[in-house]
Each structure stands twice: as C-alpha cells, then as structure tokens.
C-alpha cells in the first residue's frame, strides 16, 4: 500500500528518448515550451503536435499514461476555455441572456486549450522518460555555470537527491505513527474537514521530530563518508554527450527552424 507508491511519474524503458542525456532533454523541453508560444496559428500547432507525436512514438510510453497526466489539470483547461470563449468580444456567433460567444472568442479558446495541452504533454514527456535522479544530475550540470554568482548548484542537487531518497522512508514513518495513534483510539476518518485536519496534528508533530532525527543521523553518516571534504568531487556516472544527443539536438533545431519559418512566412 503506502510504500508501493511510484516516485514521480517515471515510465521505465530503454528507448532512444530514455537514453538521451538529461541535459539535452531539459534544454529541448524548455525550448519546445518556448516554441509553443512562438506559434500563432493552427498550422503551427499541427507541426508542434506532429513533432510531439513522433517523440511519443519513439519513447514507447503508452498514450494512456500520457493522457493520465492531463487529468489533474483538466479543470484548468476547461476553465481557460470557457473564460476565453465568453470574455472576448467580437463578431457574435451565438448569444443568450447576458452571455455571447464571438468568433474570435471561440478561436482563442480552442487556441489556448491546444497550447496548454501541448505544454503539459511536452513537459510531462521529460519526467516520464527521465529518472528523477538523472533529472537532478542534469539540473545540477545546467545550473553549475551559475556557481560563480554564488548559486550552490551541487547543494541544491544534493537536497533534491535526498528528498527523493527519503520520500518512501518518511511515508513509512507516517504509516507507523498513524497506526500507533489508531491503536490508541485516534480517529482520522470521520468528521468534517476541520476535524480531520485537527486529527492530523498528532501525526505531524512526531513526524517532524522524526524527520529532524533522521536528518541528524544522515548528516553524521554523510560526514563520515567525507561529504564536505575539500577535494574536488567526481561522479561515477559522469554524463557524456554522445552521437545520439547531437542527432537529437540537430533534429530539434530543424523542428525549431520550421516553427519559426512557419510563423514568419505564413
């Protein structure tokens, strides 16, 4: 049960996309998001969607899995759709009571919905095909040029690594505390929201205390393993840009050029 939860939403696989360097994937995803905002007509969207479809096909992540990621933000999409549809004035198509739908409004609504959907699928592809730990490594590498401005890139990455590592441990701890409280008659399920929130206090307090204790233990164990020594750190699985990463960059550059040309020419 509680310990079976999957971390993040990584879909294990060994496709071409999975094996790409995380740095390349992060940069490509960021640029893809930018490119979606460059697009201003439906032909552009068709191109962007086609590109995405190709990537999905190569990654072999089931479509069902990808669409599931859309579920939580479905309300957001519906909301922007409705607001856009009713709020933008223009040539009236249908009108009733105080509401009216304009041609421009409808166009804008569809436009924004497509943009949001592409945005979310595009960025979720990154987390679906990249292990959380490689994602952390990639971010560290991309942020490291900012080290000279005082950005602690390595410490940030270390914090993320530890957070990922201790999610299951803390869940287990929560489970243990909940059971201990339940054994002594605590009731977490009945009553209104306020009462239930109140019932969580006896869980949160011991959980915080145990989190601090774990942190102290871990800090000691890390120090014992020479964390913080002055010698320059190395990585066992150093990231290396190989031919497939260069190919991916070139293909993406071609895609980007197409999007920009489409915007300028059409």
Partner 1 sequence: MTDFIKVENLVFDYIKSEDESTFRAIDDVSFTVEKGSFTAIIGQNGSGKSTLAKNINGLLVPTAGKIYVDGLDSADPENIWEVRQRVAMVFQNPDNQIVSSVVEDDVAFGPENLGVDPKEIRKRVDEALKSVEMYEFRRKAPHLLSGGQKQRIAIAGAVAMEPECIVFDEPTAMLDPRGRREVMNVIHRLNEKGITALLITHFMEEAAQADKVIVLDQGEVKMIGTPLEIFRRAEELKALSLGVPPAVDLADRLRQRGIEVPQDLLEVEDIVRYLCQLK
Among 149, 229, 243, 265, binds partner 1 (CB under 8 A): 229
Among 64, 71, 148, 233, binds partner 1 (CB under 8 A): 233
Residue 218 as a binder of partner 1 (CB under 8 A): the answer is yes
* Positions in 195-214 near partner 1 (CB under 8 A): 214
Whole-number Å distance between alpha carbons of 120 and 168: 26
* Positions in 124-163 near partner 1 (CB under 8 A): 132-133, 161-162
Q: Which residue has the tokens 């999610």?
A: 167
- Quick check: 174 and 2 in contact, CB under 8 A? yes
Closest to partner 1 by CB, 47 or 162: 162
Residue 130 has φ and ψ, to the nearest 5°, of -125, 130
Whole-number Å distance between alpha carbons of 100 and 85: 9
Residue 2 has φ and ψ, to the nearest 5°, of -60, -25
Selected range binding partner 1 among 55-63, 198-206, 215-223, 251-259, rule: CB under 8 A:
215-223
Residue 234 as a binder of partner 1 (CB under 8 A): the answer is yes
For residue 59, the minimal CB distance to partner 1 (Å) is: 20
For residue 258, the minimal CB distance to partner 1 (Å) is: 38
- Positions that interact with partner 1 (CB under 8 A): 3, 7, 132-133, 161-162, 164-165, 168-169, 172, 214, 217-218, 220-238
């Amino acid at each position: 049960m509680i310990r079976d939860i999957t971390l993040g939403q990584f879909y294990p696989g060994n496709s071409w996309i999975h094996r790409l360097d995380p740095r390349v994937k992060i940069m490509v995803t960021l640029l893809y998001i930018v490119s979606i905002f460059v697009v201003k007509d439906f032909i552009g969207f068709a191109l962007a969607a086609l590109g995405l479809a190709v990537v999905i096909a190569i990654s072999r992540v089931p479509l069902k899995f990808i669409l599931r990621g859309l579920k939580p933000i479905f309300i957001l999409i519906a909301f922007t759709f409705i607001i856009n549809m009713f709020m933008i004035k223009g040539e009236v198509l249908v009108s009733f009571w105080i509401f009216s739908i304009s041609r421009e409004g409808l166009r804008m609504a569809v436009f924004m919905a497509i943009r949001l959907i592409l945005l979310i699928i595009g960025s979720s592809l990154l987390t679906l095909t990249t292990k959380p730990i490689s994602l952390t490594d990639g971010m560290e590498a991309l942020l490291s040029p900012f080290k000279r401005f005082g950005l602690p890139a390595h410490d940030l990455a270390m914090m993320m690594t530890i957070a990922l590592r201790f999610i299951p441990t803390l869940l287990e701890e929560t489970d243990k505390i909940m059971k201990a409280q339940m054994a002594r008659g605590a009731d977490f399920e009945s009553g209104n929201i306020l009462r239930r929130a109140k019932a969580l206090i006896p869980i949160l307090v011991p959980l915080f205390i145990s989190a601090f204790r774990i942190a102290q233990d871990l800090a000691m164990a890390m120090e014992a393993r020479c964390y913080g020594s002055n010698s320059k750190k190395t990585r066992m699985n150093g990231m290396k840009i190989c031919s497939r990463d260069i190919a991916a960059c070139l293909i993406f550059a071609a895609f980007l050029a197409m999007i920009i040309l489409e915007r300028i020419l059409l």
